[in-house]
Structure 1
Amino acid sequence: MLATFEKAALEAGQAILEVYRAGYTVALKQDMSPVTLADERAEHIILEHLARDFPDIPAIAEESVAAGKVPDINGHSFFLVDPLDGTREFIEHRDEFTVNIAYIEKGVPIAGIVYAPALGVAFTGEAGRARKLIIDDQFAVADRLTIAVRERPAHLTALASRCNSNKTTESFLSDNAVSACASIGSSLKFCLLAEGKADVYPRFARTMEWDTAAGDAVLRAAGGVTLTVDGRALAYGKIDQSEDSDFANPHFICWGGKKPALHA
């Protein structure tokens, strides 16, 4: 499955970079979030690959859902696709945007890829093994490095979203012996935890499942964990939610290494 994810993500990333370098227009979806031609081209490429190789597995993809195309996933394993995570980074010409593809089984992200085309790196996770891929200028994998979360130090390094910091996040960092905090966009936060460059990523702002599933798969494969604020593993395939829309996530905290006692 990861072989298909790699092919799809690398091809989508190439299409994204073509738009990124050539210039583009930005439109707004119904929820007022931005979308570009790069999002649409990348999603089309990814869904073609998935439909060809796994025709019986439904795919939940961000732009398709925005257009009202939502396949039935009740009782099914399924894919979650964010063709361009970090659209705001893309629009502001920060290179942290990613391509995200994940496979969900019984609510758990079993396999995933996060590809940052402008940075030339990708991260994969499956079956307890996480890797960092070095991608060359020809959009081919030049090297594969096994990665894992690091031991938890006495003073934590946290990651935070550039666009969604708030007082709850600031209180969490203060209460949990966080000595340093780095801001970065998109699902790369999961991947930096997975490769042992930070210890915790608290998210006390709204996300959707396609934003998090691929990075979560990488983090779990590297030995980390993603928990809701009441200590449960973040689950996927959340539909018919009375308090929010389908596929919306609650607040969560990602940890590298063993989960310490925390204040949320």
Structure 2
Amino acid sequence: MLNTIHLLDIIAVSMKAGEQIMEVYNSEFAVENKEDQSPLTLADKKSHEVIASELNRLFPDIPVLSEEGQHLPYEERKDWEYLWVVDPLDGTKEFVKRNGEFTVNIALVHNGYPVLGVIYAPVLHTLYFAKEGTGSFKMEGIETINFQDEAELISKAEKLSSLKLNEKIAAVASRSHMSPETEEYIDEIKKKYGDVTITSAGSSLKLCLVAEGKADVYPRFAPTMEWDTAAGQAIVEQAGGKVIQTDSKERLSYNKENLLNPWFIVKKGRL
């Protein structure tokens, strides 16, 4: 199945969603609150509509699990071998603040684990993408995608490796969700490794910083959902990094009965 799914198609879907997001971003938009009090805008809805429509058209046999879509009962989902896990607008708080640190996240999950991921930051014109067996990549200054095939795309992209070493341990933390447990974890790293530099970032860009080696660790001791992390996990793992649950030390998995993620740590192999 994976070899029949082309990165160029998924990137094109993410950029089409990004266009819808930017139309709202550059307007005077309203902000609603969901039941959990997280923000929702017209951009979330329009991006979801584009992604769901395009993925259903391109891959009618692969179900879509999107933050803004219908969440079917686990009994109906549990036997899905493949599914798309989508966050149409990851970092809505950053979108509302207009700081540009929000993304479109699209992941393909196979038997519980992500095997393909695309993350597109439309304001930053930055694209991250990964595919199992192909690697993890980054492109900056992206306005349009006009490549003949996947091989040409990859030849023009920067190959990512989370294994490069930094002079000091670099931790990345949420710009909007720093918790006391996260601060405690970073203090423990300081005791073990000495001085730690801390970078704040919004949305799935935190995982991407580990994938490209700019950060060594991203501890997340605060709530996230599966669509927040699936694409980023594919990009981290294909770059040689790890996304592990804090309790079991197992890889973060997907299409669970409860779509809430456990606490997790994204890291390079040195930690």
TM-score between the two structures when normalised by the length of structure 2:
0.87
Pairing of 1:4-15 with structure 2 (within 5 A): 4-15=9-20
Q: Pick from 134, 157, 167 the counterpart of residue 144 of structure 1.
A: 157
SS in 1 for 2:69: helix
User: Residue type matched to 1:127 in 2?
Assistant: E
Which residue of structure 2 lines up, in the alignment, with residue 225 of structure 1? Answer: 242
User: Residue type matched to 1:40 in 2?
Assistant: K
Which residue of structure 2 lines up, in the alignment, with residue 172 of structure 1? Answer: 185
SS in 1 for 2:22: helix
Superposition RMSD on alpha carbons, in Å?
1.8
User: Residue type matched to 1:9 in 2?
Assistant: S
Structure 1 unaligned spans of 5+: 240-245
Conserved? CA contact 1:191–1:219, under 8 Å: yes
Which residue of structure 2 lines up, in the alignment, with residue 182 of structure 1? Answer: 199
State the percentage of identical aligned residues: 39
Q: Pick from 229, 234, 254 the counterpart of residue 236 of structure 1.
A: 254
SS in 2 for 1:191: helix
Deviation of the 1:259 alpha carbon: 4.9
Which residue of structure 1 lines up, in the alignment, with residue 139 of structure 2? Answer: 133
Which residue of structure 2 lines up, in the alignment, with residue 242 of structure 1? Answer: none
Is residue 78 of structure 1 aligned with residue 83 of structure 2?
yes
Pairing of 1:27-176 with structure 2 (within 5 A): 27-65=32-70, 72-76=76-80, 77-128=82-133, 129-138=135-144, 143-153=156-166, 155-176=168-189
User: Residue type matched to 1:234 in 2?
Assistant: L
Conserved? CA contact 1:64–1:70, under 8 Å: no
SS in 1 for 2:26: helix
Deviation of the 1:75 alpha carbon: 1.5
Conserved? CA contact 1:125–1:221, under 8 Å: yes
Conserved? CA contact 1:14–1:139, under 8 Å: no
CA gap of 1:70–1:45, structure 2 versus 1, over 3 A, is farther
SS in 2 for 1:7: helix
User: Residue type matched to 1:91 in 2?
Assistant: V
Question: Counterparts of 1:69 and 1:44 in 2: how far apart (Å)?
Answer: 17
Question: Counterparts of 2:161 and 2:244 in 1: how far apart (Å)?
Answer: 18
Is residue 21 of structure 1 aligned with residue 33 of structure 2?
no
User: Residue type matched to 1:225 in 2?
Assistant: K
Deviation of the 1:154 alpha carbon: 6.8
- Note the alpha carbon deviations across 1:180-233, whole angstroms, 9 max, x for none: 000000000111111111110000000000000001110001110101112111
Tell me how many residue pairs correspond in the alignment: 251
Question: Counterparts of 1:138 and 1:214 in 2: how far apart (Å)?
Answer: 21
Give the structure with the higher percent helix: 2
Question: Counterparts of 2:178 and 2:146 in 1: how far apart (Å)?
Answer: 35
Question: Counterparts of 1:174 and 1:152 in 2: how far apart (Å)?
Answer: 20
User: Residue type matched to 1:198 in 2?
Assistant: A
Question: Counterparts of 2:35 and 2:9 in 1: how far apart (Å)?
Answer: 31
Question: Counterparts of 1:73 and 1:165 in 2: how far apart (Å)?
Answer: 32
Conserved? CA contact 2:78–2:256, under 8 Å: no
Conserved? CA contact 1:4–1:49, under 8 Å: no
Deviation of the 1:163 alpha carbon: 1.3
TM-score between the two structures when normalised by the length of structure 1:
0.90
